[in-house]
Amino acid sequence: MFASELQKDLWRWVVQQSGLGVEPNYTASRIEILKVIDSTDYTTTINGTPFVYNSGVGATAASIALGLVTAINLGAEPVTAVNGGSGVYTITADDAAFTLNVDANQFINTDKVIWEYSNAPRSKRTYLSLNIANIMIIGQPETIQQDNGIVLIKNGLEFTLNVGAYSNEQPENIDAMILLSELSLATSKIASLDYFRDKKLGFLGVLSLTNLNDLRGSQYEQRASMDLLFQTSMGIYDDVGWIEKVAGTGTFNNTIINDYEINI
């Protein structure tokens, strides 16, 4: 939950400063074959268009996924399907988000792949991925007494935000390295610092900015990676109990006192 909420806050800052959008635009989904049944129609519906593959005899999850991927890529919808093996495949919108439904024998993974790190599917447009890593507790925990035996324990945390940029050589795309360079400069803007402060984030600096251009199959892909260092805090509540009265026997001013009580 901690990393998930942070990603949402940081993603909004990234897309606002990069110009790629004002809110996360999820353009991909992963689908898994749940049930393997021979001679059964498996249907994936994209933007209202059904793509059907009959499993035939001796079906496997992998063969069904491959059949659907082939059918989708032969269709006219502006998406790209990629077979991930083991009965899992990914559908990515080429130009815009899409509506997606599958039959009862399949399952759409609720984790949007735009949040994934290096395994995100390759879009035809420039896109970014986020990954929160190296979360460490710093300093000593602060304990704040609440009512009725409840305490708030606050820990200081330090983490690295990795921002990956990916683009191909299409002329309308933004160069990945240029995009992250501009995003690096944006970290020093007053608006950015105010946003971090509002989200209770302390920005410490840019750790690295690296050009990672690569050849994927026959396609050259521009890649870049940037690490940003942040600090924040996280609080948890714990019921440690509440001592209201102490009773016992003892000595006070050389006088033995039996069965005393002290209200706290």
Give the list of residues 6+ apart from residue 252 with CB closer than 8 angstroms, or none. none
**What pLDDT, on the 0 to 100 scale, is given for residue 217?**
55
Give the three-class secondary structure for 114: helix
Helices (H), 41-175: 61-74
**What pLDDT, on the 0 to 100 scale, is given for residue 226?**
93
**What pLDDT, on the 0 to 100 scale, is given for residue 108?**
74
**What pLDDT, on the 0 to 100 scale, is given for residue 19?**
60
**What pLDDT, on the 0 to 100 scale, is given for residue 255?**
67
**What pLDDT, on the 0 to 100 scale, is given for residue 259?**
58
**What pLDDT, on the 0 to 100 scale, is given for residue 42?**
95
Q: What is d(CA 168, CA 92) in angstroms, rounded to the nearest whole number?
A: 15
**What pLDDT, on the 0 to 100 scale, is given for residue 137?**
83
The structure tokens listed for 95 are 């130009």
Q: Measuring CA to CA, which residue among 125, 101, 99 is closest to residue 47?
A: 99
Find residue 80's DSSP bridge partners.
Answer: 92
**What pLDDT, on the 0 to 100 scale, is given for residue 147?**
66
Backbone angles phi, psi at 153, to 5 degrees: -105, 115
The residue with tokens 């609440």 is: 146
**What pLDDT, on the 0 to 100 scale, is given for residue 117?**
36
The angle at the Cα of 206, spanning 200 to 212, to the nearest 5 degrees, equals 130
pLDDT in tens, 172-191: 567 788 888 989 999 999 98
**What pLDDT, on the 0 to 100 scale, is given for residue 112?**
39
pTM of the full structure: 0.51
Give the list of residues 6+ apart from residue 255 with CB closer than 8 angstroms, or none. none
Which stretches in the chain have pLDDT values below 50?
Answer: 1, 21-25, 110-121
Q: Measuring CA to CA, which residue among 172, 136, 174 is closest to residue 156?
A: 136
Q: Which residues of 32-65 are buried (b: 16+ CB within 10 A; e: fewer)?
A: bbeebeeebebbbebeeeebebebeeebebbbbb
Give the list of residues 6+ apart from residue 159 with CB closer than 8 angstroms, or none. 6, 132, 133, 134, 135, 136, 229, 230, 231, 232
